[in-house]
Amino acid sequence: MNVTIALAGNPNSGKTTMFNKLTGSSQRVGNWPGVTVDKKVGKIKGTDGADLVDLPGVYSLSPYSPEEIVSRNFLVDERPDAILNIVDATNLERNLFLTLQLIDTGIPTVIALNMIDAVEKLGDTIDVKKLSGALGCPVVAVSALKGTGIDEMVSEVLKAAQSKKACEPIRFKDDIESLITSAEKRLNGKVPDASLRFHAVKLIENDEVVNEKFADVRKDMESEIEKVEEAHDDDMDSIIADARYNNISDITSKVVKKAKRDPRGTISDRIDRIVTHRILGIPIFLCVMALLFFGIIGYGDITGIGTYCTDWLNEYIGVLMEDIALWCEENGVDEILASLLVDGIIGGVGAVIGFLPQMLILFLGLCILEDIGYMSRIAFVMDRIFRYFGLSGKSFIPVLVGTGCGVPGILASRTIESERDRRITAMTVTFIPCGAKLPVIAMIAGAIFGGDGMVALFSYILGAVCVLISGIILKKWKRFAGDPAPFIMELPPYHIPNWMNVIKGTLDRGWAFVKNAGTIILLSCVILWALMSFDTSFNWIGANGTSDSILQTIGEAISVIFVPLGWGDEWQLTVGTFTGLIAKENIIGTFGVLFGFEEIGEEGEEIWMMLSLILTKAEALSFLAFNLICAPCFAAIGAMHRELGTWKSTAIAIGYQCVLAYAVSMILYAFLSLFWGYEVDTVIVVVAVILLAILVYLLCAKDPFKVIDNAIKRD
């Protein structure tokens, strides 16, 4: 039985959990044509070829966001055999707004009343039979989390797909229905009969896509629509929305019986009064993240669990390298081949893999916070802050995603309706440290600051500050000017984390890191080894004999650029910065090759010892800041290009990132050197003061880009 079933529902309705429950491991993930929104398809277990297509979570079928466009186009154009509508039973009224629109499409629909266990826990009851009669389609009470009601639900949706029988649409009041009937007559023959009502309703509620397609029909109906608008004293889209909610209210009043509520609210309400407090919300968030970082990296003399695991793994890698080197020597393996294996491959990649335990523990912590519902609260809290800087709280969602990897973080900016906000977010998401930058942070913390977790906190605060000041600065440029997009986000109730989801999310992020280490980083480490092992005449000098190597020659030529930042005298740091464009964690792999990682001691990485000899605290933070803020890895640059649309816009974004990184790094180097009593060139201090003044001017001036805008206008 080859049928296609669309899985539709609001965000946080349990749709993803249901999709995983129904399809198991038989999932295919890609992108919908023309957009970066994930497309997930899987076979329903226990059926003979029934495909389940997971549509993006949406609140309506009005085409404003990329997710709504994808869901609507699939339903209207592809016409699946049936729709499985996942409805959050604890928020029935809000979820049914989408349900009524799905029924209008004329596609057979089955309602999965999810989280019914949560409803029962509250003491509420929902008459499923009455609800089914009121909606005119099958309704099944289920719990995706506990797996109850799943078999009955699958049976109903397969039956609906075979019967091809659509649900009877919910009617509005006479004057609105009369208008819909008039639109249906005019659209008859121009759209499929099954979706005639859907197109008619969208036409009269001033849907942009339908109006553009049937502009002549809309023009003919203007006078009729205006009469109804005058009678209701409102716009047609609001009239239709009110009519839907009136129907929903009427239905729910008959089928839902709510138990008496605690006047203090639910447990989630009581927690939210604290964690989303206008004043306490942000300090609480910073404390939560600080505890997470200190627990992983450590604080002062206290070793974090992540650092402990990393030390153990690096020690094992060091022993492995020594054993392999000894084996090569005993078996007469060619010196160059042995060096490639030990110094190039294991030394480079091993330096990166050594930080995997810290990253896995961080990913685990973030996944837990996300799964219990805390992260969505942070987006809500941050909206108040972001708006002061010209951005929407929705910009914080890509930032959260970007803490795992900058690529999906950039792509997540597609959820922002405002194109200007979306472009600014895509340009600034990578300022927040992603998983690939964590090894660099841990390296600086361990080598220069004794493993102090404050370095990690500093890195995230620096990234957040750069995002916020960029919001102010870029919003003053006419191409980015405009009000921030409105923030609408559902706050799901707190719940115990689903450990399968948490573990899967942690392993997926960890595997992406390992995959990079086994492909891009491996290749770059081999190239670095070759450049380091041969001189400019291509004579073999050995992987640790860097004097007069090709790599040293290139690094010394470029390093002069970074002298004002305090670390340009060390060509290895320059080479590491440029190889970081391949992948940020590649900086560690580069140092692993350049500094001979196989000589690791029991108390810490040899890389850390080398860095502690060549960097002061001010120079270390300058190096760290530059590599956190400057252009991201090539993969993230590619994602940025997809979002910004042209290479010209991408080049401008990269240029902005690098200029900001250079300015911030020089300011940090100059002022921190003075603060800690290090010697620093007076010229560098003067330039740093000028750069700080320029930055303040850009933040405070009303129209700092007037000259640039006029020049672009003339062009």
Answer yes or no: is pLDDT of 400 > 80. no
Distance (Å, rounded) from C-alpha 637 to C-alpha 430? Answer: 10
Predicted confidence band of residue 545 (pLDDT cuts 50, 70, 90): very low
Predicted confidence band of residue 689 (pLDDT cuts 50, 70, 90): very high
Distance (Å, rounded) from C-alpha 685 to C-alpha 666? Answer: 8
Distances (CA, A) of 112 to 21, 60, 142, 168, 710: 13, 17, 6, 18, 57
- Mean pLDDT of all residues belonging to the chain: 80
**Nearest Cα to 237, choosing from 201, 196, 192, 291?**
201
Predicted confidence band of residue 603 (pLDDT cuts 50, 70, 90): very low
Residue 346 CB-half CA count within 13 A: 20
**What pLDDT, in 10s, does the model give residues 572-594?**
788 888 877 766 776 776 776 66
Of 607 and 272, which is predicted with more confidence? 272
What percent of the chain is modeled with pLDDT above 70? Answer: 82
pTM value is 0.62
Of 582 and 356, which is predicted with more confidence? 356
Residues 6+ apart with CB under 8 A from 126: 89, 92, 113, 116, 119, 141, 255, 256, 257
Domains of the chain and CATH, by start: 3-163 (3.40.50.300), 174-257 (1.10.287.1770), 285-714 (no CATH)
Per-residue pLDDT, 598: 47
